[in-house]
Structure 1
């Protein structure tokens, strides 16, 4: 299953990239992230890992699998019978940025996740709103 939310944010791509990749700050402005601990140091890169605690879920370790500066970072986590892939997509849109947030589920239990589709879409909308508010606050 694939769930996505695209929004235009009145902030330049370089600012949105910083907000997107400085993942340690997410709990400060994203209601969908209670705790986030980087498990390595330095800039986010392919192979970087973070332990994330989200509401009503157990903690999970996410690993960056793709990173294209100022365009995309993708990471994945696996649980028994389920793989989740999160994509963070950015592209210039006039003087602002078009941000895409995508969650894909795969594996034997991905059908069970379809029951939670409304919750997944709501979480993506909340994250997009959080990034929009944070971009306005730091501009």
Structure 2
């Protein structure tokens, strides 16, 4: 099968993911996953979750570019993109990934600041006099 493309999103982070049959390499922004995330083992595990569930850790190569947000949001966007790409790659993976909630975009974003407030909801301190 040829290259499969998918886009993953989380907060303001976006991940563009290209999935090809291969040996299990994950390249993010021109770096390996270990180089890109450094010592954040829990986040690396979160990124690899879709591959682990579908048993594709050593049979597909992933090349991705991420931008926007922080490294944690980018990692979650990457996880979403990998899940979508795997589903496009093989439709039978959908029944594995969907119950785990990996195909759903996490729609939570930062609430906007309102006028008269310090933040979105934080009011100025009350003064009696």
| Structure holding more strand per residue | 1
| TM-score, normalising length: structure 1 | 0.30
User: Which has the greater radius of gyration?
Assistant: 2
